[in-house]
A and B are shown apart, each in its own frame.
Chain A
Amino acid sequence: MEELTNKERMQIPRQKMPEQDPEKRKKNFKEVNLGFTEELAIKEAMRCLQCPKPVCISGCPVDIKIDEFIGLIAQGDFLGAAAKLKEDNALPAICGRVCPQEEQCEIKCVIGKKNDPVAIGRLERFAADYEREHTGIRKPEIKAKTGKKVAIVGSGPAGLSCAGDLAKMGHDVTVFEALHELGGVLVYGIPEFRLPKEIVRIEIESLKDIGVEFKTNSVIGFSDTIDELLENEYDAAFIGVGAGLPNFMRIPGENMIGVYSANEFLTRVNLMKAYKFPEYDTPVLNCKDKNVAVFGGGNTAMDAVRISKRLGAKNSYIIYRRSEVEMPARIEEVHHAKEEGIEFIMLTNPLEFIGDEEDWLKAVKLQKMELGEPDDSGRRRPIPIEGSEYVMDLDMTVIAIGNGSNPIIQKTTPDMEYNKWGNIVVDEETMKTSKKGVFAGGDIVTGGATVILAMGAGRVATKAIDEYIMNSSEW
């Protein structure tokens, strides 16, 4: 490979990832992003300056050796790059798709100060996809069996990352999942067009190949309590049960037919495949030629609204009480949504849902907002504008304003510390809870966050769990 000077590297523009045409994709559930070709990947990888002290790594919750794997791609060693990724990330094809790289690793990229940063996420996705498509996911090295057993509660990103790392250390790992399918939010929450379920399935298969055992239909707390797991079989437990019950806005009419929580709407469509009804038995209310509004400004809201378009909605709206700059959704998701014809109604808040005599949603009463002084979140507080109320026709709505915590663990494991929202309190250095032998991470600790933060928490816990079970240290 020819050596480029830094100046030459910086002259290469950030490579665009091919994607499905918006007009076509808004009618199907196939993946929107199509991934780099080999040529595009090498070209993009050449942009990396291979900094002696790569600051990008400091932005990665699982400390991927970003410079090294990108260097391998630049050399055309795609399998080597995939192996390098997997030293730190059990699920690179998933993270390459759903991590908010632009606010983690890529925001730190030094090129980004003047030009566009290196497309680290797209390169991660490329290397992982290349390996899967060409050789199948190869087994990483596994250390000798330790004879120690760890129970992981929840098969979402936190649990999977923890399970993968512990298995590589030689521990026996069992993952308990409440639903009938593995993957947690990766299968019930994130839609097919952003994260194909086949990719989730294959990455989970790769964990089975390294000895991780999975038990579906196991609601820990009910089928076994945390105490029973520890007493009967396991040396430690990690709780990664994710987000719980959906938040509502506490306005009149929220229990009408046609008002969904994001969790329910997404679960019906993604996990239960309602978009294939009647081939699949679970239905979702008809969106075809309807007016659909999604309340909220996060990635979940974007997922829900883009699904409604794919289900045939005439008009699909995002309605958000702040302005677009305050929206927590990834820029890429907002951009994709707009390309697909989603309409954004900003600085607007619902006051009341209006239905017919049988409680079917017909309209929503909205109120305009303006931005005031910054609030606790640092974002400018939305303030209602008196007299700006108006009514909009609506057939279906999805409320995507976050989740509370799942109450099952708390009810069945009372001798552990929780905060006032029911989230488990942990030591952030180790993910240790107040209960001996029990660690926790992901949304059950932080409240609604991202896949990669949950994986990062799983990763942090791994080290502490290994330390605890091997040295039987005090708590």
Chain B
Amino acid sequence: MLLSRLAWAIGTVWLAASLAFLLIHLAPGGPAIALGGDSGAPGYLEEVARLYGLDRPLPEIYLDWLMRVATGDLGHSYRSGQSVLSLILERLPVTLALVAPAVLLSAIVGTLLGLLRTPRGFAASMAALHAVPGYLVGQALVMAFALGLGVLPVQGLVDGRGPGGGGIARLLDMARHLILPVLALALHNLTFVALLTRTRVMAEMERPYAVTAAAKGVAPRLVRRRHALPNAMLGLVSLFGSRLGGFVTGAVTIEVLFALPGLGRLAVTSAIARDHPVVIGLVLFTTAFVVTANLVVDFAFRRLDPRLEETA
């Protein structure tokens, strides 16, 4: 069971990375233009292609790449010469600091909102909010908070004028800078969780056990929380797990909008610069991350619902 799951996971990562490899190599334009600026001299493009071994046939480049990846070597950036793995690990904390609070926020607040006895129009307004892309939500937040109230910063991870250094002051500064981006990223998913919780709980409330509980005189609030929610949770966890990838892709636009130096920004700058090793390395890394997260959710799900363990 575990082994076949693992084989699937590795296959998925290989497929995604190979697709990324193909796409970036087939995209018109090479790294030379990004490296040399606007107007290269004759022969310059060919020179750069030779330098990075891009003048060889594609299958040869692919096999070369595959051999190296198999040994855990993601290669080096054309632009900076830095190893791809170190580039990714350098940016990972920023993306995690953005994504982790957003995931928690949307899971917890979303569930709570879904459980509330809500006024008419709640579902419709949640659905409307959900339809707004995170990018626009971000713009609106910037307008309201930063320009309207002048309280929160609109870009970056730390204050540009700050003295630098570490300590608690720096952490507080980072937290201040992350409030708006986390909200912008969370809102889209929070509304989704709220809607889903609501419909799931409502469905459970009509099932015989809930009706029985209500008939026995259990308060509706408690029927929701104690009986309907745990059952509804099962579906919620698996659906939420399948959306983790969405947080990662959502982070790309949020990082661009709020000028945060995370993995998403790395992906965008590298794609524009045709920095092939970095782009492919990022796809490999994020696919591995999402696939792993899904595996974990899968197993958590089995623990939550013993019935699945038997049928598997």
Do the two shown chains form a genuine complex with each other? no
Residue positions of A touching B, CB distance < 8 A: none
Residue positions of B touching A, CB distance < 8 A: none
